[in-house]
Structure 1
Amino acid sequence: MKVTGEQPDPNTDKKANPVMEAIQQLGQTTVPTAESNIFCLSIIGQVEGHLVLPPQNKTTKYEHLIPQLVAAEQNQKIEGLLIVLNTVGGDVEAGLAIAEMISSLTKPTVTLVLGGGHSIGVPIAVSGNKSFIAESATMTIHPIRLNGLVIGVPQTFEYLDKMQERVVRFVTSHSNVTEEKFKELMFKTGELTRDIGTTVIGADAVKHGLIDAIGGLGAALQELNRLIEEKKQSKEAVLS
């Protein structure tokens, strides 16, 4: 029997079998490889900002999203962006930063709320050119909260008030909801246990003017393709 000092590589079988790797990583045997002109960005779980969340939390790190948005804006092959949300909220400043970046893109953007677009996910949900929400999806609107130690001085509450106004101003300027209605939903009592705020379901979000329309993936992609074609035609008209 020949003995060598080399140890077998446990990853050899994985590298040699891409089908098994695809099953383990993605739960499917084949992955679509066709190049698309649409970039899909998912915001799932909790938006992670300045503080690192525990490893068991499903998070979306804003420092990962920012370079993706920059790359999508610069890539000439990408003509539109689809933002898919199923988030419970998270860091306020990080969420606002993501929303501001999406709203400042020059390429057509469509947002789609699946499952939930809660808390700071609301500004992100309204940041695109057109917003959709699934009929069964929900959005929770509530005042800004702080976790941990709160310094009980007037400056702290003034800072919270200003940050809340930033959220209100962004949402009302990027959707059809009025400031009065949004604040009414935000400060409503009795809707949430031991708290204030409102949870709205898909149809109510559209009725209040928060989201543009009810629809799923098909409707969102159809609208995004329409916006892309509209932009192409306007560019051709300018050149001619």
Structure 2
Amino acid sequence: MNNYRQQEPQPNQPGPIGPGGPGVDESKRSAVVDSIQQLGQTNVPVNESNIFCMTIIGQVEGHMVLPPQNKTTKYEHLIPQLVAAEQNPKIEGVFIILNTVGGDVEAGLAIAEMIATLSKPTVTLVLGGGHSIGVPIAVSSDFSIIAETATMTIHPIRLNGLVIGVPQTFEYLDKMQERVLRFIMSHSRITEEKLKELMFKTGELTRDIGTTVIGVDAVKFGLIDAIGGVGEAIRELNRRMEERRNAAAGGFVQ
């Protein structure tokens, strides 16, 4: 009599190579290890969102390449992203997070103009700091929010390096300063008198010119729309996206 019985695979024993086999387990383990090494967490939440989130951190890098130890945001990287967000029908809103010390004036104004001319709802959130040329970027959106502990440094345009001391140079600098002032005033509720008072105030900075504005004061002066954080910014952006959808639906019905 044959007592042979086919041995059933034990639950803790590996099965054959293939779906569910050790090959898949190894790839999963490798993915988890890579995620821990790069992001410090075991899994990354995957969710296709209708909001495009763009960060502007460190120093805004423009026409000059900054040293490698500087944390920078390259404006030539942001411009194609904004164009892609404008063209993508799945993207309904743009969320910009700032923690920048400023940087290249023309590059910062280019980014600010790009954000201001998007047809989709935009919200900016200043975390940590939105200094110097970060101020025009912060006010360029449809609605701006600043964290209570965040600050914004408002100061005149400065040059470093070799400057040709001729009247034309100073005239150009003055015109560039006027461009920044006009942009800030046209995209916020701050008055020209208050903005120039903050910009040319002496005794507050080491260079003895300019003002550091804390979150609450930025709202009080009309520079930023509201105090808040990520939750408030997302809620405001969702509200504006819903209004845009309703307006589009109403126009389609007519």
| Bin of the TM-score, shorter chain as denominator length | over 0.9
Deviations 1:203-240 (A, max 9, x none): 00000000000000000000000000000111111112
C-alpha distance in 1, partners of 2:134/2:93? 21
Secondary structure of the 1:199 match is strand
Structure 1: which amino acid aligns with 2:154? I
Q: Superposition RMSD on alpha carbons, in Å?
A: 1.3
Is it true that 1:100 corresponds to 2:108 in the alignment?
A: no
Matches within 5 A, 1:211-230: 211-230=224-243
Name the counterpart of 1:174: 187
Name the counterpart of 1:110: 123
Structure 2: which amino acid aligns with 1:202? G
Q: Which of these residues, 169, 175, 178, is aligned with residue 162 of structure 1? A: 175
C-alpha distance in 1, partners of 2:195/2:45? 41
Could you tell me how far 1:185 is from its partner in structure 2?
A: 0.4
Aligned pair in 2 of structure 1 residues 124, 14: CA closer, same or farther (>3 Å)? farther
Name the counterpart of 2:139: 126
Structure 1 residue ranges without an equivalent (≥5): 1-12
C-alpha distance in 2, partners of 1:60/1:14? 33
Could you tell me how far 1:119 is from its partner in structure 2?
A: 0.1
Could you tell me how far 1:117 is from its partner in structure 2?
A: 0.1
Name the counterpart of 1:83: 96
Structure 1: which amino acid aligns with 2:43? T
Structure 2: which amino acid aligns with 1:104? T
Secondary structure of the 2:70 match is coil
C-alpha distance in 2, partners of 1:20/1:179? 54
C-alpha distance in 1, partners of 2:49/2:111? 23
Structure 1: which amino acid aligns with 2:135? V
Is it true that 1:68 corresponds to 2:68 in the alignment?
A: no
Aligned pair in 2 of structure 1 residues 14, 54: CA closer, same or farther (>3 Å)? farther
Name the counterpart of 2:18: none
Could you tell me how far 1:14 is from its partner in structure 2?
A: 9.6
Name the counterpart of 2:65: 52
Is it true that 1:194 corresponds to 2:202 in the alignment?
A: no
Secondary structure of the 1:17 match is helix
Structure 2: which amino acid aligns with 1:198? T
Could you tell me how far 1:24 is from its partner in structure 2?
A: 1.8
Could you tell me how far 1:193 is from its partner in structure 2?
A: 1.3
Structure 1: which amino acid aligns with 2:55? S
Structure 2: which amino acid aligns with 1:48? E
Structure 2 residue ranges without an equivalent (≥5): 1-25
TM-score by length of 1: 0.93
Could you tell me how far 1:194 is from its partner in structure 2?
A: 2.6
Structure 1 runs (4+) deviating above 3 angstroms are 13-16
Is it true that 1:136 corresponds to 2:149 in the alignment?
A: yes
What fraction of aligned residue pairs are identical, expressed as a percent? 78
Aligned pair in 2 of structure 1 residues 15, 55: CA closer, same or farther (>3 Å)? farther
Secondary structure of the 1:162 match is helix
CA contact (8 A) 1:14 1:20 kept: no
CA contact (8 A) 1:48 1:90 kept: yes
Secondary structure of the 2:52 match is strand
